[in-house]
Structure 1
Amino acid sequence: MNTASAVRAPRGGQSPILSIKGLSKRFGGVAAVDDVSLDVFPRETLAIIGPNGAGKTTFYNLLSGRMKPTSGTIMFDERDITGMPAHRISRLGVSRSFQINNIFNEMTVLENVEVAVTAYRGDSRRWLNLASRNRRVRDEAFELLARLSLSGLADRRAGVISYGDKRLVEIAVVLATRPHLVLLDEPTAGMTPDETQRVMALVRSLAADGDYTFLVTEHDMQVVFGLADRILVMHRGRRLVLGSPQEVRAHPDVRKAYLGDEDEEIAP
């Protein structure tokens, strides 16, 4: 059980940071996301699970502005962001990591974060001139690396560090845009058990101590049940179950749809 849940779980009267109503995305006659409604509350970690084809990636694409919905609304921090382009949504405080590393392998770890900081400041076209000379940018990038225990890798080329460290650098790049809502897409995929534990500890720390709310898609049930305050189970584009880890673990429809076996238990 996530011991931080009692601290970050939604409380009565708390306004959601993300409110989704009737969200749908159709491709021809096929509904990849079908009438999904959901409220996400500040500083909680919500995991999204479901079998392949459940609609998780499309759902993320709608929230981050990479796709426009067919119908429904997305409210972020009480602002309607439905159909906004990705760069505007990012500016408002929603950032996303991807399943595949999205960093520059030929640059140093520090330079990768400096690029993100500079872009956030609106100077992305001049980052080559600015990043190396702007002490504020450099200091902010170092601070992010220190928070993620990556300071020792600052001057190493990103292409030669371990896979797990690359994923942490990508999270640093995401945090450089100063988001309030972070969409993590399979953050521990391909990691060793030790690397997975590092990422889980980082997300817990950021959610508990910082001004961050997390949505996490993940196939590793140990990660899901170790991190999530609540879990959304999607099936064929629809919201199947939304509840606490304990409620989801015990739900017969989840075992049937997600595991393919009504009698199989989800590991704690």
Structure 2
Amino acid sequence: MQVNQPSNIIDRVIALERELAAVRKKVGLSSAVIARGGLTLVDDSYIKVTDSDGVEILYIGPDAEGKQRFVLRREGGATLMYTAGSAQFGRDFWAMTDSTGRIIVSDNAEVGVGLARPWIPLPLYAKFQSHSYEDDPALGFRFSYMSIDTNRLAGETVMWEGRASISHPWVTVEGVWGAAVATPSTTYRLNFNDTTVGTWNGGTGPATSRVGRFDVSQFTGQDWIKVTLTVSASGAGAIACQVLGCYLM
């Protein structure tokens, strides 16, 4: 009767262990529980999750340029949330998107403070009574925008005012500006907490225009900021001062 030598048994055990290790490597980790401590990935390792169709749902790790990224996708692969780098401004940013991939919420990569999307309306309220035909029959007509006679202005006058929590680094205003009757010259100012952030002049006739972007990054993150729009004018006549919209952006 032939008996195997111990060395043969040892060789077979070693070979079996190698085969088992190879099988484990191919199959991967089916489940795991970490009771204490944590999992650390080093040297540009990554985490990737795919669904049963092989579509990538989650990725955390380096991109093609070696920068760390996070991407979360919807069922089917449409982007839901991600981080990315701005080649134009050199900063990373995060964004949430709708099902078409359009950004609906993101921080600001240009300035590095506040939001970029969505734009937030900043409400302003009139601090004056617009003149009418009954107020000044000599004008002979009504305007389709708010206006005031220059003789009612006492120097630089607050025309619109509001309060806001500043969530973005920029602000822009659209309205009707300039001379409404005759040719008075006008200067408009937008102020945050009595600090001028933007100035523009009105033309010889009323015109609808958008002014800005004005930098308000120094106020980003502050609440109950007093926002005022003032006007100063020289020369007889009437001026337009109608705010149509004001947005933090």
TM-score normalised per structure 2: 0.24
Higher relative contact order (CA 8 A, sep 6+): 1
User: Which structure would you say has the larger Rg?
Assistant: 2
TM-score normalised per structure 1: 0.23
**More strand, by proportion:** 2
**More helix, by proportion:** 1
